[in-house]
Amino acid sequence: MAGSSTIITKSAAVRWRERQWTGLAFGLPAIIGLLWFTAYPVLASLYYSFCNYRVLTPPRWVGFANYEHLFRDPLFYVSLGNTLYYGVFAVPLGIILALALALLLNTGVRGLAFYRTCFYVPSVVPIVASAVLWIWLLSPQEGAVNDVLRWFGVKDGPGWLQSPEWSKPGMILWSLWNVGGAMVIFLAGLQDVPKELHEAASLDGARSWENFRHVTLPFISPQILFTLVMGLINAFQFFTPAYVMTNGTGGPVDSTTFYSFYLFNVGFSDFKMGYACAMAWVLLLLVLAATALVLKTSARHVYYAGGDQGE
């Protein structure tokens, strides 16, 4: 009996190893792709960030020179300031608008599917196409935005993309046109809020605002946190619309030279790949710091249905 059990144990171990090797063989292409196309470029960029590397010549180790030069670069602070300006205004306004649209679409109005489609379609339009469209919409003379302002008595509308003061607000307007994805997330969260709680709050004398604040907001707080974090990450990586809408100039007067825009120009226009890699790693640290700050400060205010609040 002991011999037969030993044979069975060895047979099970052999089958387990065979399954392990079979699974590894099937996953090997994905593992190789992850290592070669993701892990290697990341590690290589970290090495190049300490080098003077211009693509056509071998990299030359310079230590922290790229980082030291970065913090003495005036355009670094200009691009970072433009990015922070965009993030501070575009992200909260986008969340508020997306939530407002979701609340309207959650009321059960007639033609709900049509309205949902209308609000969501802009978010699936290719970014380059929507940026080209907004070049025309923000035209000071012929743009639809200034035409609407004229209806409200504003005869001389802003210069938008031609004005250093209004170019970033113009980019923020473009971002508000693309809140359809966040709207769908909020709409899904609103439909999971128990109606019984709203009814109980109303019976206790809660008004609409109190009902929204104390019942609706806690239940959709995970969706708000997710949208906030993703919005911050996208704000730090804001590039394509600014590049298209300014014809690659970042103007006027560097007012739309966002961080990723400046990084792209350094790497692919000036061919300072080592300097660009240093900028990329600083950007990574900024994104990690901003995300960690949001997660830390919002832990007490996020409620997960069926569980406790975030710790």
The number of CA neighbours under 13 Å toward the Cβ of 305 is: 15
* Under-50 pLDDT residues of the chain: 1-2, 310-311
Backbone dihedral angles phi then psi of residue 129, each to the nearest 5 degrees: -65, -45
**Cβ count within 10 A of residue 39:** 11
Work out whether strand 60-61 and strand 51-52 pair parallel, antiparallel, or are unpaired.
antiparallel
The string of pLDDT tens digits covering residues 284-303 is 999 999 999 999 998 788 87
Backbone dihedral angles phi then psi of residue 181, each to the nearest 5 degrees: -65, -45
Q: Give residue 76's pLDDT.
A: 96
Helices (H) and strands (E) in the chain, counts: 15, 2
Q: Give residue 128's pLDDT.
A: 94
Q: How far apart are CA 55 and CA 135, in angstroms?
A: 34
Whole-number CA gyration radius for the chain: 26
Q: Give residue 202's pLDDT.
A: 82
User: Which residue in 280, 262, 265 sits closest to 83, CA to CA?
Assistant: 262
Report pTM: 0.87
The string of pLDDT tens digits covering residues 133-191 is 999 999 998 899 999 999 988 888 899 999 999 999 999 999 999 999 999 999 999 98
